[in-house]
Amino acid sequence: MIRVTVKKNKKNVCELIIKGHANYDDLGKDIVCAAVSSMAILTINNIISLDESIDYEEKAGFLKIRVLRDTKINKQLLENLITCLNELVNQYPKNIEIRNED
């Protein structure tokens, strides 16, 4: 299962951690893992190209996005990522879950 942890400082995302594998299908054929990876990397690349207000760490089965400073851009893009991930939770509840922390 993919476990997403969203940490917020007040109302803004300050850290987002994605761990694990969906186990929806075999490695290389897993559409849930592919969707999560694509959405997360697209979000990271967009934020970095627009305002460089985040950093990230990536390893096999692990991705951590950390907000360095709050900006309108990273707030909107990270909230969009969370909305998209929630849609995946609705479609694949056995393969991905999201937990919010303050």
Q: Are 24 and 32 in contact (CB under 8 A)?
A: yes
* Domain spans of the chain, in order of start: 2-101
**What CATH fold (topology level) applies to the domain 2-101?**
Alpha-Beta Plaits (3.30.70)
| pLDDT for the residue 10 | 84
**Confidence band (pLDDT; 50, 70, 90) for 82?**
very high
Q: Is residue 102's pLDDT more than 90? A: no
Model confidence over 20-75: pLDDT tens digits?
999 999 988 999 999 999 999 999 999 999 999 999 999 999 999 999 999 999 99
| pLDDT for the residue 27 | 84
3-state helix/strand/coil string of the chain: CEEEEEEEECCEEEEEEEECCCCCCCCCCCHHHHHHHHHHHHHHHHHHHHCCCEEEEEECCEEEEEECCCCHHHHHHHHHHHHHHHHHHHHCCCCEEEEEEC
Instruction: Give the pLDDT mean for 70-95.
Output: 97
